[in-house]
Amino acid sequence: MESPPRAALVHEWLVRWGGSESVLASLAAILPDAPIHTLVHRPDARVSAAFQGRTVIPTALTHLPGARRLYPAALPIMPDVWRRTRAPAQEIVVSSSHAFCKGVETRDAKHVCYCHTPPRYIWDLRREYEGRLTHRFSAPLVRRLQAQDREAAARVDHFVANSSFVAERILRLYGREARVIPPPVDVERFVPAERPREHFLTGGRLVRYKRVDRAIAAANAASLPLVVFGDGPDRSRLTSLAGPTVRFVGACAHEELLELMQTAIAFVFPGIEDFGILPVEVQATGTPVLALGRGGATETVVDDTTGLLYEEDSLDCVVEAMRTALSRPWSPDACRRNAEQFARPAFEAQMTDLLAELGTRTKGQVSSD
């Protein structure tokens, strides 16, 4: 029988590009020979290009008709699927988890879980996900998923969190300590430019918990220009709330989004995120961020230097922050310097150091044997 690989990677699903796929790309660079185990492998063009040439091993769910579109419906059985899935490796298994893939069977290999977040739809943010798939979840099902999630967490050897905010949730929900290593941000793709500052900016994935409605209400109340980019299930509701100074531009190509960031007075970030890559990308363009002073934003925005962290989740606080941003100068260089500490090489160096501490050879460390 062929011996298992030295290392293996585990990822929730490989369908659309997002922050977790960016993390997986760096993990794959660190462990270039590791196969990638995933629930469903139906990649879009960007995901396909990022992992071209890699060995990807999906579960049987990938073969179901409509798997690319309907895989979220399998959420109630995901813990069971992962528990029955083995990721064989001689030394180490590294999972990139925001749902249930940390429950994968690893046998005697060490299991390091890079935890983007404990699954929000069964824990803290269950109410915010009401009205979506999870509105059909009964209380007994949620309790079962929570128990399975805790059982899976107990089998992880080492947790890594993407922020102190998530590390606190891991401790509270799982009773486990976690090292904090912020995720990689491609700051080199987001550069400053000397352009007129014309509007406030908000957006991304348009879902309710992002609280884009708060930014729209503030722009309406203060008659300030606001551009909303992105798309998602909350777009129609948000459009109905918009006044005459609010403009929706939909999903943007990179160059269009970069120009919107470079010409923004500030980026309005009213939601509570586990980390939040967008605020770092915006700061990389030299633009300040106005964020609620909770969650990951407190770890990526320097208050009064690269933006403002307002205290209360209220309309008045957002309006005040927007008016303050208009009335004061900001240093694009300070914003850029702050963003650079989250660049991809920093993440890869910290993860390489962690794996070396655990006795795992990474790229550049593999011996000739």
Residue 351 lies in a domain: yes
Under a CB-based contact definition with an 8 Å cutoff, are residues 131 and 69 in contact? no
Could you give the number of structural domains in the chain? 2
Indicate if 41 and 165 belong to the same structural domain. yes
Indicate if 169 and 197 belong to the same structural domain. no
Indicate if 33 and 162 belong to the same structural domain. yes
Indicate if 57 and 144 belong to the same structural domain. yes
Indicate if 48 and 149 belong to the same structural domain. yes
Residue 62 lies in a domain: yes
Burial of 49 (0-12, 13-18, 19+ CB in 10 A): exposed
Indicate if 327 and 266 belong to the same structural domain. yes
**The pTM is what?**
0.90
Indicate if 46 and 164 belong to the same structural domain. yes
Report how far residue 348's alpha carbon sits from residue 263's, in angstroms, rounded to the nearest whole number: 31
Indicate if 214 and 155 belong to the same structural domain. no
Sheet hosting strand 110-115, strand order edge to edge: 56-58, 36-38, 7-11, 92-97, 110-115, 158-161, 178-180
Quote helix, strand, coil % in the chain, to nearest 5.
45, 20, 40
Report how far residue 277's alpha carbon sits from residue 295's, in angstroms, rounded to the nearest whole number: 12
Under a CB-based contact definition with an 8 Å cutoff, are residues 149 and 122 in contact? yes
Under a CB-based contact definition with an 8 Å cutoff, are residues 226 and 216 in contact? yes
The letter for the amino acid at 64 is L
Report how far residue 45's alpha carbon sits from residue 17's, in angstroms, rounded to the nearest whole number: 9
Report how far residue 210's alpha carbon sits from residue 126's, in angstroms, rounded to the nearest whole number: 14
Amino acid 146: pLDDT: 95
Residue 244 lies in a domain: yes
**What's the length of the chain?**
369
Amino acid 125: pLDDT: 56
Angle at 208 between CA 204 and CA 214, to 5 degrees: 80
Report how far residue 150's alpha carbon sits from residue 170's, in angstroms, rounded to the nearest whole number: 10
Under a CB-based contact definition with an 8 Å cutoff, are residues 191 and 284 in contact? yes
Residue 290 lies in a domain: yes
Residue 280 lies in a domain: yes
Indicate if 276 and 353 belong to the same structural domain. no
Alpha helices in the chain (DSSP H): 19-30, 45-50, 67-70, 78-83, 139-154, 164-174, 212-222, 235-241, 254-262, 277-284, 297-300, 315-327, 332-340, 344-357
Count each helix (H run) and each strand (E run) in the chain, helices first.
14, 13
Amino acid 30: pLDDT: 96
Amino acid 367: pLDDT: 42
| Interaxial angle between packed helices 315-327 and 212-222, expressed in degrees from 0 to 180 and rounded to the nearest 10 | 60
User: For position 347, which CATH number holds?
Assistant: 3.40.50
Indicate if 21 and 39 belong to the same structural domain. yes
Domain that holds residue 267: 187-340
Residue 329 lies in a domain: yes
Under a CB-based contact definition with an 8 Å cutoff, are residues 71 and 43 in contact? no
User: For position 197, which CATH number holds?
Assistant: 3.40.50.2000
Indicate if 223 and 175 belong to the same structural domain. no
Nearest Cα neighbor of 8 from 87, 107, 67 is 87
Residue 2 lies in a domain: no
Amino acid 366: pLDDT: 46
Indicate if 166 and 17 belong to the same structural domain. yes
Residue 318 lies in a domain: yes
Tens-of-pLDDT digits for all 369 residues of the chain?
Answer: 567 899 999 999 999 898 899 999 999 999 999 999 999 999 999 999 999 999 999 998 888 777 677 777 888 889 999 999 999 999 999 999 999 999 999 999 999 999 999 998 899 755 544 444 445 567 889 999 999 999 999 999 999 999 999 999 999 999 999 999 999 999 999 999 999 999 999 999 899 999 999 999 999 999 999 999 999 999 999 999 999 999 999 999 999 999 999 999 999 999 999 999 999 999 999 999 999 999 999 999 999 999 999 999 999 999 999 999 999 999 999 999 999 999 999 999 999 999 999 988 777 554 433
Under a CB-based contact definition with an 8 Å cutoff, are residues 218 and 319 in contact? yes
Under a CB-based contact definition with an 8 Å cutoff, are residues 344 and 184 in contact? yes
Amino acid 75: pLDDT: 83
